[in-house]
Amino acid sequence: MADDHHYDVIVIGTGAGGGTLAHQLAPTGKRILILERGDYLPRERDNWDSTAVFVKGKYRAPEFWYDKHGNEFPPEVNYYVGGNTKFYGAALFRLRPEDFGELRHHDGISPVWPIRYEDLEPYYTQAEQLYLVRGRHGEDPTGGPASGQYPHPPVEHEPRIQQLSDDLGGLHPFHLPIGVNLTQDENGRATHSSVCIRCDRVDGFPCLMGAKSDAQVICVDPALKHDNVTMVTGANVRRLETNPTGRTVTNVVAEHGNGTTEAYSADIVVVACGAVNSAVLLLRSANDKHPGGLANSSDVVGRHYMRHNNLALMAVLKEPNPTGFQKTLALHDWYLGADDWDFPLGGIQMLGKSDADQIHGEAPRWAGAASPDMPFEMLAHHAVDFWLCGEDLPLPESRVTLDKDDSIHLALDEKNNIAGVKRLQHKLKGMLSHLGMHEHHLLPHSIYLHKGMPIGATAHQAGTVRFGDDPNSSALDVNCKAHDLDNLYVVDTSFFPSIGAVNPSLTAIANALRVGDHIAARLR
> 149 versus 450: which is more confidently predicted?
149
Cα 74 to its chain centre, rounded Å, is 17
> Is the CA virtual torsion 170, 171, 177, 182 positive or negative?
negative
pLDDT tops 50 at residue 451: no
> pLDDT band at 87, cuts 50/70/90?
very high
pLDDT tops 70 at residue 447: no
pLDDT tops 90 at residue 308: yes
> pLDDT band at 286, cuts 50/70/90?
very high
Cα 375 to its chain centre, rounded Å, is 34
| Separation CA 247–CA 522 (nearest Å) | 17
| Separation CA 113–CA 498 (nearest Å) | 8
pLDDT tops 50 at residue 450: no
Asked if 18 and 277 touch (Cβ cutoff 8 Å), the reply is: no
- Mean pLDDT to the nearest integer, 70-76: 91
Asked if 233 and 79 touch (Cβ cutoff 8 Å), the reply is: no
| Separation CA 468–CA 488 (nearest Å) | 15
| Separation CA 378–CA 41 (nearest Å) | 33
Residues 6+ apart with CB under 8 A from 161: 323, 326, 328, 329, 350
Q: Give the pLDDT confidence score for residue 368 in this predicted structure.
A: 55
Q: Give the pLDDT confidence score for residue 374 in this predicted structure.
A: 74
Q: Give the mean pLDDT of the chain.
A: 93
- Mean pLDDT to the nearest integer, 190-202: 96
- Mean pLDDT to the nearest integer, 209-231: 98
Amino acid at 201: R
pLDDT digits (tens, 9 = 90+) for 35-49: 999 999 999 999 999
- Mean pLDDT to the nearest integer, 221-250: 98
Helix extents (H) in 227-330: 275-284
- Mapped onto helix, strand or coil, the DSSP state of residue 324 is coil
Kindly report the three-state secondary structure assignment for every residue of 10-45: EEECCCCCHHHHHHHHHHHCCCEEEEECCECCCCCH
Cα 352 to its chain centre, rounded Å, is 16
> Which has the closest alpha carbon to 353: 95, 104, 50?
50
pLDDT tops 50 at residue 469: yes
| Separation CA 351–CA 460 (nearest Å) | 15
Q: Give the pLDDT confidence score for residue 356 in this predicted structure.
A: 85
Asked if 445 and 385 touch (Cβ cutoff 8 Å), the reply is: yes
> pLDDT band at 259, cuts 50/70/90?
confident
Asked if 27 and 226 touch (Cβ cutoff 8 Å), the reply is: yes
Cα 237 to its chain centre, rounded Å, is 21
Q: Give the pLDDT confidence score for residue 1 in this predicted structure.
A: 45
End-to-end CA distance of the chain: 23
| Separation CA 173–CA 156 (nearest Å) | 13
Strands (E), 247-286: 249-256, 261-271
Residues 6+ apart with CB under 8 A from 415: none
Asked if 222 and 23 touch (Cβ cutoff 8 Å), the reply is: yes
* Per-position DSSP letters for 122-168, written without gaps between them: HHHHHHHHHTTEE--TTSSTTPPP-SS--SBPPPPPPHHHHHHHHHT
Asked if 75 and 65 touch (Cβ cutoff 8 Å), the reply is: yes
- Which residues does residue 388 pair with via DSSP β-bridges, in sequence order? 311, 348
Sequence length of the chain is 524
- Mean pLDDT to the nearest integer, 463-485: 98
pTM beyond 0.85, yes or no: yes
Cα 443 to its chain centre, rounded Å, is 24
Helices 18-25, 117-130: inter-axial angle, 10-degree rounding: 80
| Separation CA 458–CA 77 (nearest Å) | 7
CB-CB neighbours of 342 under 10 Å = 11
**Within the chain, how many helices (H) and strands (E) appear?**
11, 21
- Which residues does residue 386 pair with via DSSP β-bridges, in sequence order? 313, 350
> pLDDT band at 316, cuts 50/70/90?
confident
> In terms of C-beta density within 10 A (0-12 exposed, 13-18 middle, 19 or more buried), how is residue 373 classed?
exposed
> pLDDT band at 426, cuts 50/70/90?
very high
Asked if 396 and 304 touch (Cβ cutoff 8 Å), the reply is: yes
Residues 6+ apart with CB under 8 A from 458: 75, 76, 77, 276, 307, 410
pLDDT digits (tens, 9 = 90+) for 351-398: 999 888 888 777 666 655 556 667 778 888 988 999 999 999 999 999
**Out of 359-363, 435-439, 468-472, 486-490, least confident range:** 359-363
CB-CB neighbours of 169 under 10 Å = 8
> Is the CA virtual torsion 82, 88, 91, 96 positive or negative?
negative
> pLDDT band at 258, cuts 50/70/90?
confident
**Out of 188-202, 251-265, 443-457, 462-476, least confident range:** 443-457
> 254 versus 453: which is more confidently predicted?
254
pLDDT tops 50 at residue 280: yes
Backbone angles phi, psi at 134, to 5 degrees: -105, 130
| Separation CA 187–CA 135 (nearest Å) | 17
pLDDT tops 80 at residue 445: no
| Separation CA 207–CA 213 (nearest Å) | 9
Strands 103-105, 32-36: pairing kind: unpaired
